[in-house]
Structure formats: structure tokens, C-alpha cells
Chains A and B, each alone.
Chain A
Amino acid sequence: DTGVSQDPRHKITKRGQNVTFRCDPISEHNRLYWYRQTLGQGPEFLTYFQNEAQLEKSRLLSDRFSAERPKGSFSTLEIQRTEQGDSAMYLCASSLDRGSEASQETQYFGPGTRLLVL
């Protein structure tokens, strides 16, 4: 088990460009989450997947943002027409949902992708 990995770790782009980030969860984990963290703040939820199904999206996720998890394994987060306000750390986390309403499996985080939009 190598943990959650994210690629790239850093991305610098110009305003208006598109960027795509990748997250590889822990192999047996069926839930995958995306969060955004700005400097000095706690992470904020963006969206999450149960296997390949995207079950919830935050209001923070504007129509310029799209996330996919096509085969229920890795996930991608794409930002189209980037804006300076998109500059942040994008965190991915995964967990194993065992299907019990009483269980809450811990979310394990990746190292994040730090995005800077110039």
C-alpha cells in the first residue's frame, strides 16, 4: 500500500489555460474525495465519488470544474479557463466504505497539487 498519490505536485499556468490533475487512491478504497485548500485555511469539500459514480458536488465546483473517475480507480480534476482565484492546493483523499450506516471510514489524504495561476 503506497498511499494516495497525486500528480503533478506543482502546476503553474497562465490565466485562461486548462489544467488537469490526477489522483490515485489507495487501491482497495471505493470512495474518493476532492478538496481545495487556500493558504492559511482548512480544506473545503469539492466533490466525491463512490466507485465511478459522482455522488455530490459542492457549490464551490463551478461549471469550469469537472471531475471524473471512469473506472472507479484513479480520478481526474479538470479546471477550464483558469482564473487567478483558482490558485490553491487541491487535495485528494480516499476511504473504504463498508456499506454500514454506522461506519465512518477514515479519509486518507494525498500530498496535494499546488496550483498557481498567473
Chain B
Amino acid sequence: AQTVTQSQPEMSVQEAETVTLSCTYDTSESDYYLFWYKQPPSRQMILVIRQEAYKQQNATENRFSVNFQKAAKSFSLKISDSQLGDAAMYFCAHVWGAQKLVFGQGTRLTINP
């Protein structure tokens, strides 16, 4: 079975600092995609960043970047210059084949002013 594991239920960081959220996944597929989604309290899930497994270059979107280690099946999210608006649940997700997303359990990120 395809699984996604986020081992950090909660993380906190000081405003303007950098934080890294961890994610590992298990798949037998060679061609797949990985995503980080953000879900603020009582608000809808929005895409933060995506990574194609066939690309060696790590994806970057402004202050958000990933460290994709395909052999280790690891996909961490780094948030630089953390802002109060970054506070949310962050979900790592994996998709292949039939394109149904498989999500991790989530990491609740708190930003301390």
C-alpha cells in the first residue's frame, strides 16, 4: 500500500526564522508526484508546492522549497523567513497512476511572534 508519513505532529518557529517539515513516503512506482498542501484553521486546503519525481531539481516557490531525496523516499518542506500567515496544518501528499492523493497525517505549524 502507498503510504505517507509525517512524523512531526506539531512544530513551532519564531517569526522570520526557518523551519523544515518532514515527510517520508512509500511507493513502488517510479513515476509519481509529491505535494505539500496548507490548511489554515477553518479555511480550505491550498497548494504550497509540487515536485515531479522524474525531476532531480528541487522545487521552489518563493519562501518555500523542498528537499526531495528519491532514493530515501523523503520529501521535506523548508519555509524561510516564516510569517504569521504561515500558521496552518501542512499536509504532504503523494499521487500516482489513478491520481488519487494519499495524504500524511499533517503537521501543525505555529509561528511565534
Q: Which residues of A contact B (CB under 8 A)?
A: 31, 33, 35, 40-45, 48, 55-56, 58, 91, 93, 95, 97, 102, 104, 106-112
Contact yes or no, B44 A48, CB < 8 A: no
Residues of A within 8 A of B106 (CB): 40-42
Q: Which B positions have Cβ atoms within 8 angstroms of A?
A: 4, 31-33, 35, 37, 43-47, 50, 52, 91, 93, 95, 98-106
Partner of A56, one of B43, B50, B95, B100: B100
Are B105 and A41 interface neighbours, CB within 8 A?
A: yes
> Is the CB–CB distance between B101 and A111 below 8 Å?
no
Using a Cβ cutoff of 8 Å, how many contacts connect chains A and B?
55
Given A104-B33, A104-B52, A106-B35, answer yes or no on A44-B103 (Cβ-Cβ < 8 Å): yes
Could you say which residues of chain A place their CB within 8 Å of the CB of B47?
Answer: 106, 108
Task: Provide the bound-state CA to CA distance between A48 and B97, in Å.
Answer: 13
A31, A33, A43, A56: which contacts B103 (Cβ < 8 A)? Answer: A43
Contact pick for B31, options A91, A102, A106, A111, CB 8 Å: A102
Indicate whether A42 sits within 8 Å of B43 (C-beta atoms), given known contacts A48-B99, A104-B33, A106-B50.
no
Are A104 and B99 in contact, CB atoms less than 8 angstroms apart?
yes
